[in-house]
Amino acid sequence: MNILNRIFYKKRKFYDDDFDWESYTADSYKRRLIGDVEKDHDVIAKPAELSFDPETGHVTKQGRSLHPNQHLIYEVIGQLQPASVHEVGCGAADHLGNAVAFYPNTQFSGSDRGATQLDLARSRHPELKDRLKLQDITMPFSRQWPKSDLIYSQAVLMHIHTAVSHFVALCNMVNMANNYVLLMENYQCHNFVQDIIGLRDGGHLAWDETHIYRFDGSTGARAILLSRTPLDYEELTSDAQIRAGLDPSRRRLNRAAEDSSRATFGY
């Protein structure tokens, strides 16, 4: 997609996600992965380079650092010890590739709505080819989707802005999860806490109880953790808590407010 088509695409009112998912891999994802993330961090780690300390709940990486978001995901897995984990929007599957080797007793799977994303993932991690499936998390819930103890996303829902699609995605992730949902996102792109509270109180979530927590990684990243049972983390009651210390982006916050205003909760 050339630059003029991209500008026109982003101006369309009837479809305003951040990207055209059919061309996302070539247009943006692969370039950012290689040009930004891989330049500063290891994205594919050797198992011997990673260790988890159960006393502190921290992961240590020898050699070049992991991206803080990736580092946090492994700390969540280490602390919660889920038997199964599923990544929504797995992209190149580097998070999964490392996790499979790091936590060999955990069952991992991943999905993405883009076939080209899965092609890239299988080329980088051929050992994962049978664990990766095509899935659009904004579709109505499918009984064919995998159930896992922990469902997580990393920079996925932040890009979804069409109608009420991100609300559907949140509900679907909870519906897929036996115990936990982890959201590693840009927290100014949606009013995540406000929206989750609305979905919970409106009866849209599958769990009888939904507890909302802030999880802080040891290398600076932060995430929203949903649990169906109480946990010993900071409870979130507002988006101000998860945004504390971030430089505000008026454009993103205005868009988040617009997205939240589309919801009608409950009956």
pLDDT per residue over 97-118, tens digit each?
999 999 999 999 999 999 999 9
Q: What is the SS3 string spanning the chain?
A: CCHHHHHHHHHCCCCCCCCCCCCHHHHHHHHHHHHHHHHHCECCCCHHHEEEECCCCEEEECCCCECHHHHHHHHHHHHHCCCEEEEECCCCCHHHHHHHHHCCCCEEEEEECCHHHHHHHHHHCHHHHHHEEECCCCCCCCCCCCCEEEEEEECCHHHCCCCCHHHHHHHHHHHHEEEEEEEECCCCCCCHHHHHHHHHHCCCCCCCCCEEEEEECCCCCEEEEEECCCCCCEECCCHHHHHCCCCCCHHHHHHHHHHHCCCCCCC
Selection from 12, 24, 13, 257 nearest residue 159 by Cα: 24
**Is a pLDDT exceeding 60 seen at residue 254?**
yes
Read off the pLDDT of each residue in 210-230 and give the average, rounded to a whole number: 98
Question: Is pLDDT of 81 > 90?
Answer: yes
So what's the pLDDT on residue 142? 98
Question: How sure is the predictor about 16, in pLDDT bands with cuts at 50, 70 and 90?
Answer: confident
The partner residues of 110 in beta bridges, in order of sequence, read 87, 132
Q: Output the pLDDT for position 13.
A: 53
User: What pLDDT is stored for residue 221 in this prediction?
Assistant: 98
**Residue 249: what residue type?**
S
Q: For residues 160 and 138, is the Cβ–Cβ distance under 8 A? A: yes
Integer Cα distance of 185 and 154 in angstroms? 6
The pLDDT score that the predictor gives to residue 12 is: 54
Instruction: Lowest mean pLDDT of 36-50, 144-158, 183-197, 221-235, name the range.
Output: 36-50
Give residues with Cβ within 8 angstroms of 68, minimum separation 6: 217, 219, 220, 221
CB of 90 within 8 A of CB of 67? no
Mean pLDDT confidence for 216-221: 98
Tokens of 259: 């997205």
Quickly state the pLDDT bin for 257 (edges 50, 70, 90).
very high
Mean pLDDT score across all residues of the chain: 93
> Both tokens of residue 182?
């982890």
Residue 44 has pLDDT above 80, yes or no: yes
pLDDT given for residue 8 in this prediction: 59
Residue 4's pLDDT is what? 67
Give this prediction's pTM.
0.92
